């Protein structure tokens, strides 16, 4: 068995006659008696204490820990007690990339995740906890697509926790856990009469927004980011190359959603646009 069991109530000494004897320590009769000690895979010494009369239990625990280390399935007990929120906040702080994406993720975690599972220790997660979490998201009234984004963030965080040795496997990957329901969503395009009425209600400078929105299918940010030089009047083509969005509350130009550039072209001289992606 790797590791050892220390009896903190007695110590072994050699008397004046050269004999080995057991003597009481200053701790005798107080506190936990046995301390099981072992070396974790990172080389650090770990331990757990047991009460008087629990030496057998200490040996069984140490044997189980040693087997986990040998199989490569060791989970640090201290790491397993880390709450989901503490780990998630450290994980998010270590992420690189778009600051706006990080800010959005932080908001999602703060509003929808931490109140539900933030206090749960990582090592205690079971598929049943994730199933309950998904049910709560669906019952909250949010859209199915938004609930799936939140679920994917939780899944990513728990995968990182597995890699860091905080829990043995990701409960989100259980076959009994399903993604939040998308729900029935039917897109009903506006009738031409409504489009023309909306256009007529705008002041002159804003009417072009209705034209490119309804006629070319541009998103709001793409409309706000549209520049004159993105329109090829000779070939009746509009190039969607950027959008205007908020990044940490500041407006910035950025590539279209998903980084996908595209063009929308009018097929006839009347320039009735049709969208080509």
Q: Given this model, what pLDDT does residue 84 score?
A: 97
Q: Sign of dihedral through CA atoms 223, 227, 233, 237?
A: negative
pLDDT at 42 exceeding the cut of 80 = no
Mean pLDDT of 63-74: 80
From 71, 165, 69, select the one nearest 61 (Cα to Cα).
Answer: 69
Of 24-28, 81-85, 248-252, 271-275, the poorest mean pLDDT is in: 271-275
- Report the percent of the chain where pLDDT is more than 90: 51
Cα 173 to its chain centre, rounded Å, is: 14
HEC per residue, 220-271: HHHHHCCCHHHEECCCCEEEECCEEEEECCEEEEECCHHHCCEEEECCCCCC
pLDDT by residue (tens digit) across 92-151? 999 887 787 888 899 999 999 999 999 999 999 999 999 999 999 999 989 999 999 999
Q: Given this model, what pLDDT does residue 184 score?
A: 66
Q: Exposed, middle or buried, 158 (CB in 10 Å: 0-12/13-18/19+)?
A: buried
pLDDT at 4 exceeding the cut of 50 = yes
Q: How far apart are the C-alpha atoms of 102 and 118, rounded to whole Å?
A: 18
Q: Given this model, what pLDDT does residue 249 score?
A: 72
Q: Exposed, middle or buried, 54 (CB in 10 Å: 0-12/13-18/19+)?
A: middle
Mean pLDDT of 240-255: 83
Region for residue 271 given its phi and psi (left: phi exceeds 0; alpha: psi -120 to 50; beta: otherwise): left
Mean pLDDT of 214-243: 89
Q: How far apart are the C-alpha atoms of 134 and 147, rounded to whole Å?
A: 8
The residues, any chain, with a CB within 8 Å of residue 183's CB and separated by 6 or more, are 143, 144
The residue with greater pLDDT, 247 or 165, is 165
- Taking all residues of the chain, what is their mean pLDDT, rounded to a whole number? 87
pLDDT at 85 exceeding the cut of 90 = yes
- The two tokens of residue 72 are 């490569």
Give residue 273's pLDDT band: very low, low, confident or very high (50, 70, 90): very low
Q: Given this model, what pLDDT does residue 277 score?
A: 37
Backbone angles phi, psi at 250, to 5 degrees: -115, 135
- Quote the pTM value: 0.62
């Amino acid at each position: 068995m790797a590791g050892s069991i220390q009896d903190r109530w007695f110590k072994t000494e050699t008397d004046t006659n050269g004999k080995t004897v057991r003597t009481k320590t200053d701790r005798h009769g107080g506190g936990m008696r046995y301390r099981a000690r072992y070396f974790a895979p990172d080389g650090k010494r770990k331990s757990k204490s047991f009460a008087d009369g629990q030496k057998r239990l200490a040996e069984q625990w140490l044997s189980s820990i040693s087997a986990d280390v040998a199989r490569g399935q060791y989970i640090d007990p201290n790491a397993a007690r880390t709450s989901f929120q503490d780990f998630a906040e450290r994980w998010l702080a270590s992420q690189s990339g778009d600051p706006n994406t990080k800010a959005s993720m932080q908001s999602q975690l703060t509003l929808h995740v931490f109140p539900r599972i933030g206090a749960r220790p990582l090592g205690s997660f079971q598929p049943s906890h994730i199933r309950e979490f998904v049910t709560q998201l669906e019952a909250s009234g949010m859209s199915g697509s938004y609930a799936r984004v939140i679920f994917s963030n939780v899944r990513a965080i728990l995968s990182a926790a597995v890699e860091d040795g905080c829990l043995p496997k990701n409960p989100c990957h259980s076959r009994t856990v399903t993604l939040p329901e998308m729900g029935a969503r039917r897109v009903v395009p506006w009738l031409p009469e409504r489009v023309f009425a909306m256009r007529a209600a705008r002041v002159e400078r804003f009417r072009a927004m209705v034209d490119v929105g309804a006629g070319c299918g541009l998103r709001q940010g793409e409309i706000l980011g549209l520049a004159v030089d993105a329109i090829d009047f000779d070939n009746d083509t509009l190039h969607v190359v950027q959008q205007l969005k908020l990044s940490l509350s500041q407006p910035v130009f950025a590539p279209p959603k998903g980084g996908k550039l595209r063009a929308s072209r009018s097929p006839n001289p009347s320039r009735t646009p049709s969208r080509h992606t």
